[in-house]
Structure 1
C-alpha cells in the first residue's frame, strides 16, 4: 500500500516558499511525482548483485599500502580487490586516492579500505581520509529528484585520530524512478551512521581500517512521474489568491482596531 516517503530519503525538491508563489502564478508545470513505499526487489534482473562506486583519498598513506577487501554473509572474502580500480598518488607519493567500481551481493556484508593486502604491514598506518563518492547502482539522470544517493560524498575525517578505525553503518534502500512513459531506472539510496575508535586485542593494537558495513532495507522507494491535471493548477491559484485576501483582511482589521483605540485614547486625554 502506498505510504509517504521518509524525509531522510528526500522527496523531489521543490522551490523555496518565496519562489513558489511566483512560479505557481506565472506558469503551469504539468509534471509531478507520486512517492510510494512497497516491499519488493524491483531489480530482479540484476543477478542478486549491486554495483558500487567508491572514490576516497587517504593523504597520508602510500598507494602500495592501500587495498580494498570485500566480505559478506554468503562466504565471500576477497582481500586486495583490484578489478576496475586505480590508485592515484597524492602529495608527491605520500598519500593515495583510490577509485574503484565493484559489485556486492544483496546480502549483509562489508567492504573496507585497509592495509591488509600489503606485503609488509606499516607500523602506524594513518587512516585519515576524505570520501568523494560512495554510490550504489545506476545514477538517476533526473534533475528534480534529489535523494541520499551519495550521502557520504564530502565526508572529511582529516582531523581524526590517525590510528583510529572508522565504521560507516549503511542501510541501503532500493529506489525506482518511473517516467511518464513507464520506463524505469533503478538505483539505491542509503542512510548512514558512523563511529571512530582505536581497537585493541590481547596481542595489542589492531590495524585500523575504514569499514563500510551494509545491510539492505526490504522497503523500496518509488518515484513515479505523472502529468498534473489542469484543475490542480487552478485550485492552487485559487488557494493563493484566497490566502492573500484573507491575510490582507486580517491586517486591515488589526490596523483599523488599533487606529480606533488610539483615537479613543487621544479623546480621553482631551477631556
Structure 2
C-alpha cells in the first residue's frame, strides 16, 4: 500500500535545526503581511468593480438601410434671424426635405439679430447630409451671414455620462463666429456605430465620428451668394462595442495566489541577503574569516 505521507511537500523542520527569531526577521515579516493585505484588498476592489472592455467587428445586418439614426443638433447663429434659419435633409435613398420643422426649436438672440437652432431629428442609415440654410425662408434676407458656434452635435443615444472614451460629440464647441459673412461651411463626418452594453444586458446605440472642415463660396443659379452650413456624413462598416463587466473569479484567484507567493518569495530573499551579510560582518569582527 502506498504511503501518502511520502507526497507531503510541507514537512516541518526539527526545532533544533531552526534559527532563533530575530528583530530583522520580525520587521520583514510584518512588512510582508502589510504588503500582502494591501495588495489583496486592491485586487478585491478591482474584482468587485466593473471594467469597460471594447471590441471591434464588421456590421453585416441586411436591414441597416431601414434603420434610423437620431441626431441632436444645437447651433447658434449670432448674425442671422430665426425667421430665415431652416434645416434641410438629403441622403442617397432619395430623401430631400427643405425646411424640416419636426422637433425643432428656435430661440431668438441679440434682440432678433441672432438665433439658436435646436433640433432632434432622424436620418436614414445611408450616406447623406443635413444643412442649416435660408432655402426655406419666405423672404430671403439681404445679407446672409452663416457664422456660427456649435453647442452640440450627437448621433444616437446619449452616452456622455458613462465615462466612455471616444468622439461622441466631436464638433461641440466649434467656433466659426469670426469668419467672412459670405462663406459657406462644410463639415465632412465619418460616423462609427458604437454599442454600449452593461452587465445587466441593457444596450445603447450611439455613434462616434471624426470630422474635417472647409469653407467655400456658394452661388445660386441666379448668381446670388447662398451660404449654408453643411454636415455631410458617411458610415463606417466597423462597429465598436463597449461592454461593462466584472473580471472572472479565476482571474482574481490567480492574482491573489501570485501576490501571496511572490511577496513571500521576495521577503525570504531579502531576509536571506540581510542574514548572510550580517553573519559575514560578525565573522569579520571576530577575525574568523578564512
> Residues 190 and 236 of structure 2 are in contact (CA less than 8 Å); yes or no, is this contact kept in structure 1?
yes
Asked if residue 28 in structure 1 is aligned to residue 37 in structure 2, the reply is no
> Residues 64 and 125 of structure 2 are in contact (CA less than 8 Å); yes or no, is this contact kept in structure 1?
no
Give the drift of 1:26: 9.7
Structure 1 stretch 199-208 or stretch 187-196: which is displaced more? Answer: 199-208
Find the aligned partners of 2:101 and 2:83 in 1 and give their Cα distance: 12
Q: Equivalent residue for 1:168?
A: 187
Q: How many residue pairs get matched?
A: 220
Find the aligned partners of 1:27 and 1:191 in 2 and give their Cα distance: 36
In structure 2, the residue corresponding to 1:60 is in which secondary structure? coil
1:225 is matched with which residue: 229, 237, 244? 244
Find the aligned partners of 2:212 and 2:42 in 1 and give their Cα distance: 38
Structure 1: segments with no counterpart, 5+ residues = 1-20, 246-271
Structure 1 stretch 52-61 or stretch 199-208: which is displaced more? Answer: 199-208
Asked if residue 109 in structure 1 is aligned to residue 128 in structure 2, the reply is yes
Q: Which structure has the larger Rg over C-alpha atoms? A: 2
Asked if residue 153 in structure 1 is aligned to residue 153 in structure 2, the reply is no
Find the aligned partners of 1:203 and 1:46 in 2 and give their Cα distance: 36
> Residues 148 and 191 of structure 1 are in contact (CA less than 8 Å); yes or no, is this contact kept in structure 2?
yes
> Residues 70 and 110 of structure 1 are in contact (CA less than 8 Å); yes or no, is this contact kept in structure 2?
yes
> Residues 42 and 176 of structure 1 are in contact (CA less than 8 Å); yes or no, is this contact kept in structure 2?
no
Q: Where do 1:111-126 residues align within 5 Å?
A: 111-126=130-145
In structure 1, the residue corresponding to 2:163 is in which secondary structure? coil
TM-score (normalised: structure 1):
0.72
Structure 1 stretch 64-73 or stretch 118-127: which is displaced more? Answer: 118-127
Asked if residue 94 in structure 1 is aligned to residue 116 in structure 2, the reply is no
Asked if residue 144 in structure 1 is aligned to residue 163 in structure 2, the reply is yes
In structure 1, the residue corresponding to 2:83 is in which secondary structure? helix
Give the drift of 1:205: 4.8
> Residues 41 and 174 of structure 1 are in contact (CA less than 8 Å); yes or no, is this contact kept in structure 2?
no
> Residues 69 and 112 of structure 1 are in contact (CA less than 8 Å); yes or no, is this contact kept in structure 2?
yes
Find the aligned partners of 2:225 and 2:45 in 1 and give their Cα distance: 61
Give the drift of 1:29: 5.3
Find the aligned partners of 1:150 and 1:32 in 2 and give their Cα distance: 23
Give the drift of 1:178: 1.3
In structure 2, the residue corresponding to 1:92 is in which secondary structure? helix
Q: Note the alpha carbon deviations across 1:172-219, whole angstroms, 9 max, x for none.
A: 111111112232211111111111122347853530000000111111
Structure 2: segments with no counterpart, 5+ residues = 1-38, 267-290
Change (3 A) 1:26 1:163: farther
Structure whose residues are more often helix by fraction? 2
Q: Equivalent residue for 1:177?
A: 196
2:99 is matched with which residue: 66, 80, 90? 80
Find the aligned partners of 2:63 and 2:221 in 1 and give their Cα distance: 45
Find the aligned partners of 2:53 and 2:242 in 1 and give their Cα distance: 6
Q: Equivalent residue for 2:233?
A: 214
